[in-house]
A and B are shown apart, each in its own frame.
Chain A
Amino acid sequence: MNLSNPNTKIVNTKLDELYARFAAGKLSQPMHVLVAAHLAMRGEGRAYVSALEGLAGGMLERTPPLALSNRDACLKGIFAATNPAASQLPAQSLMPAPLHDFLGKDLADIKWRRRMPGLREYTVSKQNGVEANLYLIKAGHGIPSHTHEGSEFTLVLKGSFFDKVGRYTAGDIAIADSELDHHPIVDKDEDCLCYAVIDAPLHLTGPIGRIFDRFM
């Protein structure tokens, strides 16, 4: 990310909050995958996230225990289990492992949908107001001006793009709030592959909604 950008500090605060929600397990699955993939690609946030996870791990150990109803059966099941074959990430994959596992397929097997010239889209999941898409954007092309209900989080997997806030390269997360009139443009030298999640609008109701509502 362009560090000379005056908005970098704000972005970092938002990123810190995202890290905290990730560490605490309070993100929806597509968002959790986005942050995990970002951490797999970029080292900067890892130590902070590890520190927060360490706090959470300490809390787990201090949680008052609640006996299992089926302790012996549970142990028996565990001792009977065998190691499943590990899925192998194809060499040279553009997909960080967490995203690859979430997709359940390789990039080559994705059936893209053409949204407009220069922009292809693949919807990974759409559930409870959270929509996750992969975008493949041709060099020099942009996504037309748009705003969203809820925030949009975009992880750059390959190539780079810029918007009003800054420039984003592989491993960066761009955060666009609902207020932001968003018009990202891909740099001219390379096509851009992104994983983007539009997170749930706030204040959903019901048990699932409550989970999303945490930490917003």
Chain B
Amino acid sequence: MTNHVVSIPINTRKKNLCLTGKLDPELRHNSGQNHLNGQIYAIATSRVNFALSSYSFNLHNSMKRGASLGLSTRLLESILSQSLTAQDQIKLVIAVAQRRDRDAFIVLFDYFAPRLNSYLQRLGSPSSLAEDITQDVMQSLWLKAELFDPAKSSLGTWIYRVARNRRIDSLRRERLDYFDPQDLTQNAAMDRPSDEPNPETLLDGWQREVMVRHALEALPQDQVDLIKLAFFEDLSHSEIAARTGLPLGTVKSRIRLAFTRLRRQLESTGLTDAGF
């Protein structure tokens, strides 16, 4: 079977990048444009993720140039939004909170919604439910953006929390329309952020998360692997035992040990006594 090769030129202020990838023609024909977009998207993601994160983008210029090449706005937004930095996200969410800026929201939507959809489906939600929860979570961002406090966490983490809580609700309740205003703040200290964000603290939450990631990576590799498998890959302890060849009891005790070590590591770097 021959695969189509697509190239996606992307203009940045500093450098021209060309993304190349293969499309599976079967899927393309069977599933239509959405799937095609999804595939280009996936290719772009894998190629672009790292390279782009170091560049500063002029989003609008790139959009214009991309449009003149005949690429759909949606696709360009999707690809370009791979590069949404923490600063970009904060600027956009402030525009949503203060002015209900639809364009800003759409950029955030195109960045987060496909990731939420993917995250929820990987946890076993059927696609229709995953999309319902995704819409519900993004609607919370649209209506409640002012509750996000960049001094406390990154926007990704805030959205993750809302999605996690909604998913748990949905496992029991049929009430998907249920909207819980407390939901957004219940894991934080309940206090509302000030109306005017302070530029000094805008990246505090995000920076602290980067430090936590470093603390995790500082643990012995076998413990990092176990935490990642248990926590992020969504494997059960018995699945981890099967994958690693370790006895179930060992897996359980090592995971406990790993979480305790992580806590100590965080404490020693002062990350667990910040004023949350």
Binding site for B on A (CB under 8 A): 13, 16-17, 20, 23-29, 32, 36, 39-40, 43, 46-71, 74-75, 77-79, 81-84, 86-87, 89, 97-98, 101, 125, 127, 207-208, 210-211, 213-216
Q: Which of B63-107 touch A at CB < 8 Å?
A: 74, 78, 102, 105-106
Please name all residues of chain B whose beta carbon is closer than 8 Å to the beta carbon of A98 when the two chains form the complex.
Answer: 182, 186
Question: Are A32 and B114 closer than 8 Å at their CB atoms?
Answer: no
Task: Say yes or no: B154 contacts A57, CB within 8 Å.
Answer: yes
Bound form: Cα–Cα A43–B190 in Å: 11
Query: Are B41 and A67 neighbours in the complex by a CB distance under 8 Å?
Result: yes
Known: A16-B259, A57-B159. A64 touches B168 (CB 8 A): no
Are B153 and A50 closer than 8 Å at their CB atoms?
A: yes
CA distance A62 to B254 in the complex (A): 26
Which residue of the partner chain A has the closest CB to B139?
A: A78
Knowing A57-B156, A63-B118, A83-B143, say if A68 contacts B271 (CB, 8 Å). no
Contact assessment for B236 and A215 in the assembled complex, using a CB-CB cutoff below 8 Å = yes
Residues of A within 8 A of B55 (CB): none
- Asked if B212 contacts A25 (CB within 8 A), the reply is no
Chain A nearest CB from B31 CB (Å) reads 10
Q: A52-B231, A54-B212, A213-B236 known; 6 other A-B pairs, CB under 8 Å?
A: A17-B256, A25-B165, A53-B157, A60-B115, A68-B113, A77-B135
Q: Which residues of B contact A (CB under 8 A)?
A: 34-35, 37-38, 41-42, 45-46, 49, 74, 78, 102, 105-106, 109-110, 113-119, 121-124, 127, 131, 134-135, 138-139, 142-144, 152-154, 156-161, 163-165, 167-169, 171-172, 179-183, 186-190, 205, 208-209, 212-213, 215-216, 230-232, 234, 236-238, 255-256, 259-260, 263, 266, 271-274, 276
- A97 and B165 CA atoms in complex are apart in Å by 14
When the two chains form their complex, are residues A77 and B46 in contact, meaning their CB atoms are under 8 A apart? no
* 17 contacting pairs across A/B (C-beta < 8 A): A17-B255, A24-B231, A28-B168, A46-B188, A47-B266, A48-B263, A54-B213, A55-B209, A56-B164, A57-B161, A58-B157, A64-B42, A66-B114, A67-B35, A71-B74, A75-B106, A127-B172
For the complex, would chain B's binding face be called helix, strand, loop or mixed by DSSP majority?
helix
Question: Shortest Cβ distance from A38 into chain B, in angstroms?
Answer: 11
Are A207 and B143 in contact, CB atoms less than 8 angstroms apart? no
By the criterion CB–CB under 8 Å, are B122 and A58 in contact?
no
Contact flag A87-B181 (CB < 8 Å), given A54-B154, A208-B171? yes
A17 to B85, CA, bound (A): 32
Q: Is B115 touching A78 in the complex (CB atoms < 8 A)?
A: no
Residue B276 contacts which of A43, A56, A82 (CB distance < 8 angstroms)? A43
Question: Which of A17, A32, A48, A207 has most B Cβ within 10 Å?
Answer: A48
Whole-angstrom CA separation of A39 from B102 in the bound complex: 34
Complex Cα–Cα for A69 and B165 (A): 23
Closest to B190 in A: A40
Contact B209 A32 (CB under 8 A): no
Question: How far in angstroms is the closest Cβ of chain B from A41?
Answer: 11
Q: Are B237 and A215 in contact (CB under 8 A)?
A: yes
Question: Is A29 touching B172 in the complex (CB atoms < 8 A)?
Answer: yes
With A25-B164, A25-B168, A66-B121 in contact, is A54–B157 under 8 Å at CB?
yes
**A contact face: mostly helix, strand, loop, or mixed:** helix
Closest to A96 in B: B186
In the assembled complex, the Cα of A79 lies from the Cα of B100 at a distance in Å of 10
The answer to whether A67 touches B213 (Cβ under 8 A) is no
Distance of B93 from chain A, by nearest CB (Å): 14
The docked-state distance in angstroms from the alpha carbon of A125 to that of B123 is 24
Query: Are A55 and B216 within 8 A (Cβ)?
Result: yes
Whether the Cβ atoms of B186 and A55 lie closer than 8 Å is: no
- How far, in whole Å, are A200 and B113 apart by their CA atoms in the complex? 32
Distance in angstroms between the alpha carbons of A100 and B118 in the assembled complex: 31
Residues in B neighbouring A215, C-beta threshold 8 A: 230, 236-237
Q: Are A56 and B260 in contact, CB atoms less than 8 angstroms apart?
A: no
Which of A49, A69, A78 contacts B34 (CB under 8 A)?
A: A69
Most B CB atoms within 10 A — which of A49, A51, A211? A51
Neighbouring A residues of B190 by C-beta, 8 Å = 40, 97
On whether the beta carbons of B232 and A54 are closer than 8 Å, the reply is no
A47 and B276 in contact, given A65-B78, A74-B134 (Cβ under 8 angstroms): yes
With A81-B142, A101-B180 known to touch, is A63 a contact of B122 (CB < 8 Å)? yes
Interface centre among B102, B260, B274, B276 (most CB of A within 10 A): B276
Task: Chain A residues near B158: list those with CB within 8 A.
Answer: 57
Q: Considering only CB atoms, which chain A residue lies closest to B132 in the complex? A: A74
Evaluate whether A32 and B165 lie within 8 angstroms (CB atoms) in the complex, with A50-B153, A58-B209, A216-B237 already known. yes
